[in-house]
Structure 1
């Protein structure tokens, strides 16, 4: 069952002030509502005072303005979200890396960059050159989130940590960071938009250090639209809208609202050509 905040349902009427032609004049028909799955992903998607907020939420709102379609947000633990998506009970999943299994169920629409970092409480030491170095030389325990896709090079090191009794999978990032705060874990793996929000929220920014590791290079993140539930012509409309948001700077501006202009420029360093080139011709 999905978990909603107190003011839930949140079916968004997003056709007002649309900058593009509404659905009635387009080559697609919007359903009554399109269900969008969200998870605890820091500044990408979080719950605050009974509302859903974050870059993913703002992107969906903009998607509604550009297509004239209506969306309903539904909240799940990350692992459960992809099970619901595979079972055709969620129509769009935001903030996702591409992988072969997910490509079978959905059409990927890239819009941002992401990179997992090794986040450690300073008491666990630091200066590790790689995740493998942390596994070999460190003693700290990591808590990582279930349902998150980790690159094979990262997963190999996580498997080694698990064999050594130094890894625990938890349901969400909130649990991981609260356990770090309480001293029951020493660190986690998380992109900047996730660890920044949780460390600020819990007031532990000064206690944590984060390191880029070569096993986790920068990757492209995006949304998946269900092949079973979203009509092909609507998939195409959503894809065109996301691509336009990347090309016209809307995505970068949305990230800037949450992490600040300097960190947004860091996330999109080198420009968006790699993202745009990821769209199928």
Structure 2
């Protein structure tokens, strides 16, 4: 999902852009004075290292933002930030937009969410023995689990992470790059991610 600070004019832009992205190309960018762009300042869109979505200045989210800018005529500045900082700046109103967020009640208080892709979280396991087949088995085996700081994964994984964190089995990485580095080094035995992410990182693991 793409997220935008709820109180900022960019929230209205993102809603309208979500509609624009689903319409015919000939509708885009025909007017010289485009009401989509809120104010004269460029909009800020923050990425975080996230495999196929963003890595080294390329990815699905970069293409999406470039297309939003092209169709709307708005100047959108793209930056790279830690995920935890992105959520903080969205809540404070410092940042207008970001990509790839899980919606929940707390975040709905300060952001609007526009779905643009749906994926299901999965457990990636590189520990000894059989991989946990269910969340219940994950809790029973309690491998050392790595997550990215401030990430949400949806239920039932979020509840399992809370339980394992209380038991001391959860470590937090600063970003997805570090998470997979830890997986490669054996510092963690499991991580919660999804195919579009691990299919990007796994070929790079030795």
For normalisation by structure 1, the TM-score amounts to 0.59
Q: Distance in 2 between matches of 1:23 and 1:189?
A: 45
Aligned to 1:133: 137
Number of equivalent positions = 180
Correspondence for 1:172 among 172, 175, 194: 175
Aligned to 2:104: 99
Aligned to 2:66: 61
Aligned to 1:3: none
Q: Alpha carbons of 1:153 and 1:21: their partners in 2 closer, same or farther (altered >3 Å)?
A: same
Q: Distance in 2 between matches of 1:175 and 1:192?
A: 17
Q: Distance in 1 between matches of 2:115 and 2:137?
A: 32
Give the drift of 1:120: 1.0
**SS where residue 53 of structure 1 aligns?**
coil
Correspondence 1:192 to 2:192 = no
Give the drift of 1:25: 4.6
Q: Distance in 1 between matches of 2:178 and 2:129?
A: 22
Correspondence for 1:113 among 111, 118, 121: 118
Q: Output the aligned Cα RMSD.
A: 2.0
| Structure 2: runs of 5+ lacking an equivalent | 1-24
Aligned residues of 1:180 and 1:186 also touching (Cα < 8 A): yes
Correspondence 1:32 to 2:36 = no
Aligned residues of 2:142 and 2:164 also touching (Cα < 8 A): no
For normalisation by structure 2, the TM-score amounts to 0.79
Aligned to 1:77: 82
Greater share of strand: 1
Q: Distance in 2 between matches of 1:154 and 1:110?
A: 20
Aligned residues of 1:36 and 1:91 also touching (Cα < 8 A): yes
Aligned residues of 2:42 and 2:76 also touching (Cα < 8 A): yes
| Structure 1: runs of 5+ lacking an equivalent | 1-17, 205-281
Q: Deviations along 1:80-133, whole A, 9 cap, x unmatched?
A: 111011112211111112222322222221111111110111x43334221221
Q: Deviations along 1:123-144, whole A, 9 cap, x unmatched?
A: 43334221221221x2521111
Q: Alpha carbons of 1:27 and 1:159: their partners in 2 closer, same or farther (altered >3 Å)?
A: closer
